[in-house]
Structure formats: structure tokens, C-alpha cells
Structure 1
Amino acid sequence: MNRTRASGRTVGGLRTLSLQAPAVSLLLLWMIVPLGMTIWFSFQRYNLLMPGMTGFAGLENYEYLLTDPALWSAMGTTLLLVGSVLVVTVVGGTLLAVLFQQEFAGRGIARVLAISPFFVMPTVSALVWKNMMMHPSNGVLAWLAQSLGLPALDWFSSLPLTSIIIIVSWQWLPFALLILLTAMQSLDEDQVEAARMDGAGPLAIFFFITLPHLRRAISVVIMIEMIFLLTIFAEIFVTTSGGPGLATTNLAYLIYIQALLDFDVGLASAGGGIAIILANIVAIFGR
């Protein structure tokens, strides 16, 4: 009897594995082959402008990057950009989720409008902010400043990194709002009502009931956003091109410079390897 059951489990398990094997194999190839090629090229001398200069470079590409001040500037910019956007989106998303959970006229329309920016393509949103919002002469912010008797600000020259943070936060705030607002739907209203009857004010309810309830959703928002924010490129490419100087050059844009402007595949691949290590370190601390 036991042998029959064990045999049935084994046959069923083998059948399940045989059905899963093609999909798992394809997924592994899709992930491992590009990663393996990146690691391989990072140890090679491979510059498209110098086809005769090839061969195994060892750790030369990594040594060059690690001694290049541009790498450390880009890593600092990357971490500052990721941290700032996370603070803005998590704090703003939490407050907006609490606000949109309340009953008010036009709540459905307001929710749709608040979530809509997340569906705008990064390139389009960067162009809108550059030419319509932050333009020093014809932008909406310049018009508001002049209406108040203040001088118009050239955002991308005076505050380039702050400008990128504002644009990216505008894109990702709706994502945080969507996740946190969904989590708010499962909040026990009886618990909130009981707290009110016991004399708890809005701040006490927020810090001791709402915020602990959203803790898991906030961690999900942080992890997902962190993965994508480490690879921000389109907003920088469209608005500042990494400048002025290296002010807005993050790690992704530095790799782009090495690969598609300097045509150095070896250095770009080494930068990709460093980016992988940085992403894993950030993910460990973000848990």
C-alpha cells in the first residue's frame, strides 16, 4: 500500500517536472545567457573603434572603472536618486492612500487622475516636464514664479538632480498609491471605529493602526521601485544628458556612455557587473 502511494507520488512528480522543464529551461536561458555574456565581455579587451586590440584583459576593465572618479560620482548619484524618489513616493503614496480611502464627491475620478501618470511613457513625461513645466521661459513653473514676482528658475541648469528627482517621483508616486490604496481596502473598519470610540484621534489611528497595516505593502513598494529606479535612463537622456558635468550621470547612464558613445564593450560590461553587485547590495538592505 505504501509502495503504491510512493510510486504514485513519484510518477506524478516526474510528470509535473516534465511539463515544467521547457518553461523553466527557457527562463534560465533567457536570464543566464545575457548575464554570462556580460561577465565574459567584462574580462575582454573589446573596443569597436580598435578592432585589432582584443584578447583577455583580466581585471583591467574593473581596475580602470574602480579608479575612475566618474564611477564613484555615478554611484553616489544613483543612490541619492533612488533614496530621494523612494522617500517621496512612499511618504506621498501613504498619505494619498489614506486621503483617497475617505468618502468625498468625485473620489472615483480623482483616483483615476492620480494613478494616470504611471501609465505615461518615461520619455514622454520627461519631454512634458522639460518643455511644458520646467522651461525657464515658457514653462508653467516659470509663469507661476513670474506671477508671484519671482525670477524664473532654469531647473536643469541650477537644480539638475532635483529636477530629475521631481520627474521620476511624479512617475512612480501613482504606483505607490495604487499598491497602498489596494492594501487600505483590507483595513478592518471595525477596528478603526473601535479606536475612535476609545478616544483615539486621527494621528493615533494613522500611526498605530493604519501604518502597521500598510507595513507589508510599503516593503513591496520599496523592493519593486528599487529594482527599476536603479536603471533610470530615459529621463536623464531626454533632459540633461547626464550633465551639467556629471551632476545627473547615474550608473546606467555611465554604462551607456561607455558602450554607445565610447564604443568600449569591455568597460561597459564591467560597469554592468558592478551595477549587478550594487543592485544586490541595495536589495539586501532594502528587505
Structure 2
Amino acid sequence: MATKASRSAARMMMAPAVILLLGWMLIPLVLTLFFSFKKFLPLRGDRWENGLEWVGFENYVRFVSSSAFWPSVITTLIIVGGVLVITVCLGILLAMLLDQPMWGQGIVRILVIAPFFVMPTVSALVWKNMFMDANNGLFSHLWRLFGAEPVSWLSEASLPSIILIVSWQWLPFATLILLTAIQSLDSEQLEAAEMDGASPLARFGHIVLPHLSRAVTIVILIQTIFLLSVFAEIFVTTGGAFGSRTLTYLIFQRVLESQNVGLGSAGGVYAIILANIVAIFLMRIVGKNLDT
């Protein structure tokens, strides 16, 4: 049993890491809030030492009154929802396939997980030039092979294209988490159900899927945090055009257009609010599985 002295020593050793983590989180947040009430145009010669013009909630009103604000929020939620559906469903399927004994199982698992380690800009460029190019892309050649007219994916189907690219990046993460959960499943339960005459679909629905509920919850929560700030894939492929502008990309554009850091900071606060609303919703609806 830990003594009072050992607990105090543990707190002392953890204190530097905790302080560093809090500083890493709180300092950018405080600066974002500070700038959101100011008019700061550093690209036009404004200097910190000269003071910053106080504008109150003007930046917030300007940002939310923009005609592009709500479409960008909806686009963000569509991308997040689409990627979650694809990665969770295909992740479960791939995890079950990788759990089966096969030749070269280790190599196959490494190949499946490999896309997660590719930089977002690199993967977006690969998809844009090798697969989705309207003239020389692989998809265009497949379309011509079947006698169909090639599709300009990034302009005619921009949202599905971005969802596909981001899903390819995050599918290995979901597969790895779900594979770990499947491997912890007691095989005796499945064997007993099979001996009782349960079909494969029934075994999946009544044994495997409930066992994966906690892992699915973790995948959804972690991926949502990162997917709400998707930027590189949009910047490289569509540049925010063709209805693919997310809230994060809108913040980027507003800062460049107005050169006003305060306006971008107000957009950042809206992004934080959106992330917290989504997180609370997920914790209430999906996160209940963590308590069971």
C-alpha cells in the first residue's frame, strides 16, 4: 500500500509534466481569447508594443454573420460523420479478417496499418494525382475501361472525395484498436454459441459487437477530436472550393483575406465551441459504453 510519503513523491515527480501540459493547453487558449477581442493586423505593420485596438465582440459578429459560416459548419460535420461511418464499419470488418489465421499475417497487418503513418499532405497529393486526376488518374482509366466518361472527382464530387481520402488515413487506426479488442474476446463464448447452433450473423450481433462497443466508443471519440480540424487534405486537393470548405479552412481564409489575427481568433473560439458541443454529445450518447 502506498504511504503518504510515496504519494507526495509521486505528485512531485508528476508536477513538471502536468504543469507543462497545462501550459501547452492554456497559453494558446488564453491568447486566442485575448486576440479575439482585438484588431491586430501584423501583416500591415501592427506591432505588439504599440498596443492593440479593442473591438469587443465585433470579430465574433463579423465571423458568424458571414454567409459561409453555417455551410462550413455543416460541411465539417458531414466530413466527420462520413469518415466515422466508413472507418468504424470497415475497421470492424478488417479487424475480423486480420484476426483469422493466414499466411503472412504479420506482413498483412503491417501493410494495413501503414497508411496511418503517411503525412496528410502526402496522401492527399497521391490521391489527387494518381487516383482522382480527371485525365491520367487510375479512376479515370477504370471509367474508360467500362466505357463511361471520366469524373472530375475533386470538383464534381468534392465532399465524397475528401471523405474517401481522410477515411483511408484513419482506417488503420480504427482497425488497430478494434483488432486489439477482438483479440481480447474469449473464444470459448463463440465456440459455445456455435455448438448451440447460433449462426455467424447471430454470433456477431450478440457476442462480437457488444464486446467491441467500448473500442468503437474510443475510436469515435479520438477520431472526432482530430477530424474536426481537418485542413491539409482540403488545402492540397480543392483549396476549399466546390463546397468543401470546413470551419477550420474558413478561419484560414478569413485571416488571409482580412489579415486580421483577431478575426481568425474569433473563428478559433467558434471552432472550440463546436468541438466541445460535439464532444459532449458523443460522451452522452456514445460514451455511456465506457461505464458498462
TM-score by length of 1: 0.92
Q: Residue 152 of structure 2 corresponds to which residue in structure 1?
A: 154
| 1:190 Cα offset (Å) | 0.7
Consecutive unaligned residues of structure 1, counting only runs of 5 or more, are 1-7
Q: Spell out, residue by residue over 1:213-268, the C-alpha distance to the aligned partner (whole angstroms, 9 max, x if none).
A: 00000000001100110111110000000002xx1110111111122443210110
Q: Spell out, residue by residue over 1:149-201, the C-alpha distance to the aligned partner (whole angstroms, 9 max, x if none).
A: 11111001100111100100111111100110011110111110000000001
What does residue range 28-177 of structure 1 map to in structure 2 within 5 Å? 28-51=22-45, 54-177=52-175
Answer whether contact 1:258 1:265 (CA < 8 A) is retained: no
Q: Which of residues 272, 275, 281 is equivalent to 1:285?
A: 281
Describe the SS at the equivalent of 1:151.
Answer: coil
| 1:280 Cα offset (Å) | 0.7
| 1:14 Cα offset (Å) | 3.9
Q: For 1:25 and 1:265, how far apart are their aligned partners in 2?
A: 27
| 1:48 Cα offset (Å) | 3.2
Q: For 2:14 and 2:102, how far apart are their aligned partners in 1?
A: 49
Q: For 2:207 and 2:160, how far apart are their aligned partners in 1?
A: 34
The alpha-carbon distance between structure 1 residues 62 and 188, as it changes in their structure 2 partners (threshold 3 A), is same
Q: For 1:10 and 1:176, how far apart are their aligned partners in 2?
A: 41
| 1:206 Cα offset (Å) | 0.6
Consecutive unaligned residues of structure 2, counting only runs of 5 or more, are 284-292
| 1:32 Cα offset (Å) | 0.8
Determine if the alignment matches structure 1 residue 256 to structure 2 residue 236. no
Residue 105 of structure 1 aligns with an amino acid whose one-letter code is W
Residue 109 of structure 1 aligns with an amino acid whose one-letter code is I
| 1:54 Cα offset (Å) | 4.3
Q: How many residues align?
A: 278
Q: Residue 266 of structure 2 corresponds to which residue in structure 1?
A: 270
Q: For 1:157 and 1:30, how far apart are their aligned partners in 2?
A: 39
Give runs of ≥4 in structure 1 deviating > 6 Å.
none
Answer whether contact 1:86 1:222 (CA < 8 A) is retained: yes
Greater shift, 44-53 or 217-226, is seen at 44-53
Describe the SS at the equivalent of 1:103.
Answer: coil
Q: Spell out, residue by residue over 1:59-97, the C-alpha distance to the aligned partner (whole angstroms, 9 max, x if none).
A: 111111111121111111100100000000001101111
Q: Larger Rg: 1 or 2? A: 1
Determine if the alignment matches structure 1 residue 190 to structure 2 residue 188. yes
Residue 19 of structure 1 aligns with an amino acid whose one-letter code is M
| 1:49 Cα offset (Å) | 5.0
Q: For 2:12 and 2:41, how far apart are their aligned partners in 1?
A: 43
TM-score by length of 2: 0.91
Residue 185 of structure 2 aligns with an amino acid whose one-letter code is L
Residue 253 of structure 2 aligns with an amino acid whose one-letter code is I
Residue 94 of structure 2 aligns with an amino acid whose one-letter code is L
Q: Residue 288 of structure 2 corresponds to which residue in structure 1?
A: none
Q: For 1:56 and 1:254, how far apart are their aligned partners in 2?
A: 23
Q: For 2:6 and 2:175, how far apart are their aligned partners in 1?
A: 43
The alpha-carbon distance between structure 1 residues 20 and 200, as it changes in their structure 2 partners (threshold 3 A), is same
Identity in percent: 54
| 1:138 Cα offset (Å) | 0.5
Q: For 1:207 and 1:155, how far apart are their aligned partners in 2?
A: 36
Q: Residue 178 of structure 1 corresponds to which residue in structure 2?
A: 176
Answer whether contact 1:84 1:165 (CA < 8 A) is retained: yes
Q: For 1:144 and 1:49, how far apart are their aligned partners in 2?
A: 47
